[in-house]
Structure 1
Amino acid sequence: MNDVQATDTPRLEIRVATTVGAAWRALRDKDVIRQWHAWQSGELEAELDSIYFTDVVEDEANHTLVPNGGDKFEIKEDGDGVRIILTRAPLSGDAEWDAYYDDVTEGWTSFLHQLRFALERKPGETRRTLFFGNRGTYSGTVVERLALDGVGEPGSRYTATLAGEAVEGEVWFRSEHQLGVTVDAWGEGLLVIAGTGPSATDPSGTSMALLSTYGLDEDGYSLLDKRWSQWWSENTGK
């Protein structure tokens, strides 16, 4: 059982307008977890089983959870909402695995903001996702090429043309390497552009686009996939 307690490692925190009970269910109910963790793929179910339900340390009374891997979740009351805190596990000492430590941290940043979105905007709703990734183009470059670099602060409205589609929505969050915006046309969906900055292992940086959609019919979803597949290929090289 992995009960590593992380110290002096990245600490990610979000405030969510929800209850402690709802936030705890979002960490312990697989039907809820799959609506915010990562994206739909053939490996998602196995990933959820491995992270959240295999060799975990769970303290329901104090609302803390150490998933398989050693990262630690804490849920704390905060006025009329909660704070969800994720403290990363220390480096493992395995150079091959530790090379992806920053990528995993950025992934958790994206997923926590998807968690807040699911709890605040889409409780009980089912998402349908698209994912695109590139290890040779920095996420900030993708934001610029989407002409989203000039959007305002979180909570402000924006309009843009994304992959040939005129859209509008709200700026959801910003961080050093990430931008999240809601997209009204996707059933008030969520677009997250994320990645890692240039480094010795990735001199060009990395990027991914994660699109969460709600209620699109098959034609609408297929058209969105086609538009983004073409845009991503033309603008990131993959």
Structure 2
Amino acid sequence: MNEASKQVVVDITIAAPIETVWDALRDPAQIEQWFGWDAESLAEEIKFIFVDHATGDPARRVVQFGEWEGSADAIELTEDGFGTRLRLVRSGGAPIDWTGVYEDISQGWINFFQQLRLMLERHPGERRHTVYLSGPSKAGIGEPSAELGLGETVSLPAGAPYAAAPSPGGSASGQVWYQTHFQTALTVEQWGNGLLVVTDMGVSPKRPHGGGSILLTTYGLSDADFAALEERWTAWWSARYPKPAE
């Protein structure tokens, strides 16, 4: 595969040694703490993607995934000062400028690798609990970031402190973890220094009024506190972004 046919989809630096990042990419138990979200199918998905259809080259620090629809992704690690540079490189297919184009797989990788960064930099060895909600907007309902009342928070640069009161209730404070064209991610001190990732997916044939998703990642909450958080956010979301009829 020549270099002209390769495209970098994700390029981030993680403040952790390359051996630590490599282990987190190859150990299914660790992958479960940053990839996807809590679901009965998560362990099976990890096995399918990272074990059955991926090969690891520890000498080159490359994880190569199998081909899908004419293209194949690879994770490449390199040492970067005291940290590790992680790139997801896509080979095959026509290069696409993903900046203003929503595509589930690319956006998912961005989200998950930032969850990996959060785990390694702030929660090594800890177990997360997550809530994931997604759907199209009802008529008259705005994109999730607007409906949540995040306002100027979505325009702050990465690393900036923020304080907000998202619509489902309760205050939130922390810092902007990352920003992309579609995603806004905020650390949340009230969730054990967890993370709120809000995705505004925009209008499409499947989302004539727009829509999006949210991923809540929490650490250290009691079972009761997590259950209350999940119930409150799920009720708020379902009233505005119901799942399409089967």
Quote the Cα distance in structure 2 between the aligned partners of 1:113 and 1:227: 25
> Once the two structures are superposed, what CA deviation does each residue of 1:76-103 show, in whole Å capped at 9, x if it has no partner?
11111111001235459xxxxxxxx811
> Once the two structures are superposed, what CA deviation does each residue of 1:133-171 show, in whole Å capped at 9, x if it has no partner?
11447xx81011112231121111111112111121111
* Residue aligning to 1:120: 121
Q: Identify which range, 80-89 or 209-218, moves more after superposition.
A: 80-89
* Residue aligning to 2:106: 105
What amino acid does structure 2 have at the position aligned with 1:174?
A: Q
Within the alignment, does 1:154 sit opposite 2:158 as a pair?
Answer: yes
- Pick closer, same or farther for the CA change 1:10–1:83 going to 2, 3 Å: closer
How far 1:194 sits from its partner (Å)?
2.1
- Pick closer, same or farther for the CA change 1:205–1:103 going to 2, 3 Å: farther
* Residue aligning to 2:78: 76
What amino acid does structure 2 have at the position aligned with 1:150?
A: E
Within the alignment, does 1:180 sit opposite 2:185 as a pair?
Answer: yes
Q: Are the counterparts in 1 of residues 143 and 210 from structure 2 also a CA contact under 8 Å?
A: no
Within the alignment, does 1:59 sit opposite 2:57 as a pair?
Answer: yes
Counting aligned pairs with the same residue, the percent is 35
One of 223, 228, 239 as aligned partner of 1:218:
223
Scaled by the length of structure 1, what TM-score is found? Answer: 0.87
Q: Are the counterparts in 1 of residues 7 and 91 from structure 2 also a CA contact under 8 Å?
A: yes
Quote the Cα distance in structure 1 between the aligned partners of 2:42 and 2:4: 25
How far 1:55 sits from its partner (Å)?
3.2
What amino acid does structure 2 have at the position aligned with 1:44?
A: L
One of 140, 143, 150 as aligned partner of 1:141:
143
What amino acid does structure 2 have at the position aligned with 1:129?
A: T
What amino acid does structure 2 have at the position aligned with 1:62?
A: R
- Pick closer, same or farther for the CA change 1:102–1:6 going to 2, 3 Å: farther
SS of 1:110's equivalent in the other structure is: helix
SS of 1:48's equivalent in the other structure is: helix
SS of 1:150's equivalent in the other structure is: helix
* Residue aligning to 2:17: 19
Quote the Cα distance in structure 2 between the aligned partners of 1:135 and 1:103: 14
Q: Are the counterparts in 2 of residues 169 and 181 from structure 1 also a CA contact under 8 Å?
A: yes
Q: Are the counterparts in 2 of residues 54 and 68 from structure 1 also a CA contact under 8 Å?
A: no
Provide the aligned length of Structure 1 versus Structure 2: 227
Quote the Cα distance in structure 1 between the aligned partners of 2:174 and 2:93: 38
* Residue aligning to 1:96: none
> Once the two structures are superposed, what CA deviation does each residue of 1:186-212 show, in whole Å capped at 9, x if it has no partner?
111111112533345544444111111
Q: Are the counterparts in 2 of residues 53 and 67 from structure 1 also a CA contact under 8 Å?
A: no
Quote the Cα distance in structure 1 between the aligned partners of 2:206 and 2:5: 25
- Pick closer, same or farther for the CA change 1:202–1:236 going to 2, 3 Å: closer
Scaled by the length of structure 2, what TM-score is found? Answer: 0.84
* Residue aligning to 1:234: 239
